[in-house]
Amino acid sequence: GLPPLYVVTPTYRRPEQLAELTRMAQTLLLVRHVRWLVIEDAREPAADVARLLRQSGLPHEHLTAAMPEQYRKRRGAKPKGVAQRNRGLQWLRANASEGVFYFADDDNTYDVAIFEEIRTTRRVSMFPVGLCTKLGLSTPVVSSRGTFVGFYDGWVGGRKFPVDMAGFAVSVKFLHERPKAQMPFAPGFEEDGFLRSLAPFEPKEVELKADNCTKVLVWHTQTKINGASQPLDMKKFNDTNLP
């Protein structure tokens, strides 16, 4: 049959959380043979997230992996979602034998076509991500002959793989051949660090998806909350049954 697609989604507690997860769940309901790994940045799973997952009817795993305290306390950029993606890798190593996985943040926007594109990933595939950095696009650059020639991204920063988290997918079998691969707690270098940890693997070996990277099928959208100055009351955002 069709090999499974594992969608690995870090998520954390904030007023937008259930809205983001609802949108994403309803996108994934349009995808065949998908298993959603939702991994909370928390010590204990939240009951309302569990309910949302259950009621979605999607095959899923509800896991937790909290950002280590030393990073959470840090001022400035934090390694967001790293503990959870590594937890996802651990789950895949223990439970998956075939198929493809994709690191899909909860606030991005996904055309269902991207999931069909990445299904056929043999090792590592890449594709454009819209609304990414000041340039508005992060993508592999492809010659008119259809061959990979480099990367286009608003922040290169010495990275070997200057790509966005939403811009690549990896086969589970390939992950099994790279038992040490993991994501570093290095803000800005999470993607590069993970892709480097798949060595030996070179940029020129990337499988180009989305019609040779001519189509944008995923966007790095970021939700902005209305109002904002109220004290944070999760119940109010998720439930009208106010006390």
The SS3 call for residue 208 is: strand
| 3-state SS assignment for residue 224 | coil
Question: Bridge-partner residues for 138, per DSSP?
Answer: 129
Interacting residue with ligand UDP among 3, 61, 62, 80 (CB under 6 A)? 80
User: Least distance from C-beta 33 to ligand UDP, angstroms?
Assistant: 23
The site for ligand UDP, by CB under 6 A, has a size of 12
Question: Of the two residues 152 and 201, which places its CB atom closer to ligand UDP in the complex?
Answer: 152
Q: Does 105 bind Mn ion (CB under 5 A)?
A: yes
Summarize the chain as % helix, strand, coil (round to 5).
30, 20, 50
Footprint on residues 103-162 left by ligand UDP (CB under 6 A)? 105-107
Q: What backbone torsions phi and psi does residue 193 show, to the nearest 5 degrees?
A: -60, -45
Q: Which is nearer to ligand UDP, 12 or 174 (CB)?
A: 12
Long-range contacts of 41-46, Cβ-Cβ distance < 8 Å, separation of 24 or more: 41/10, 41/11, 41/12, 41/13, 41/65, 41/66, 41/67, 41/81, 41/83, 41/84, 42/12, 42/13, 42/66, 46/13
Please, which of residues 6-45 interact with ligand UDP by CB under 6 A?
A: 10-12, 41
Q: Is 233 annotated as a binding residue?
A: no
Provide, rounded to whole angstroms, the least separation between the CB of residue 200 and ligand UDP: 28
Say whether residue 222 binds ligand UDP (CB under 6 A): yes
User: Toward Mn ion, which CB reaches closer, 4 or 15?
Assistant: 15
Residues classed as catalytic: 191
Binding site: which residues?
107
Annotated binding site for Mn(2+): 107
Binding residues (CB under 5 A) for Mn ion: these are: 105, 107
